[in-house]
Amino acid sequence: MSPVLVVTRFDVPDSETATFLPRAQAALAAFAARPGYLRGRIGRAADDPTQWVLTTEWTGVGAYRRSLGAYDVKVDAAPLLSLGRDEPSAFEVLHADDRAAPAVVNPSRRAHDADEVGIGSASGPASSG
C-alpha cells in the first residue's frame, strides 16, 4: 500500500491569523488520533503570511477517507478543511526520502482507467425497479 500525502492550502486574511493556528492545531490533533495517521504539519509561507498549509500523511487513502467519518474530525477538522482551496489535495507518495531511513520508492496504485472512469460511471445501468 502506498502512503498518501494530503495537502490543503489556505488563504487566511491577516485579521484571521490569530484564530487560524489554534483551529489548525485542533484539526491536526483530531487527525492524529485516527488509525493510519503517520504525521502532520502546519505551515505558513515565509514570503506571504496569508498563505497557510496543513499536511498530513497516512498509511493509505482508505485510512484518510475513513478518518473523515470520525466524530472528532467532523467537529474539529472538516470545518477548517472546507475553507481550503478547491484543488486536488490527496497525493499518493511515489518516492520518499526521510533521511532517517533509506529512500522508499512506491509503485503507483492509481487505477489504469482513472482518467476515464468518474464517480458513478463505474456502476451498472440505472434500473427503474
CATH of the domain at 11: 3.30.70.100
Question: For the chain, how many structural domains are there in total?
Answer: 1
Residue 69 lies in a domain: yes
Q: Give the CA distances from residue 106 to residues 101, 103, 127, in Å, rounded to whole numbers and listed in that order.
A: 15, 10, 41
Task: Name the residue with higher pLDDT: 60 or 111.
Answer: 60
pLDDT at 112 over 80: no
Residue 118 lies in a domain: no
**Host domain of residue 10:** 4-105
pLDDT digits (tens, 9 = 90+) for 79-95: 999 999 999 999 998 88
Q: Are 92 and 1 in contact (CB under 8 A)?
A: no
Position 96 scores a pLDDT of 81
Residue 122 lies in a domain: no
Residue 111 lies in a domain: no
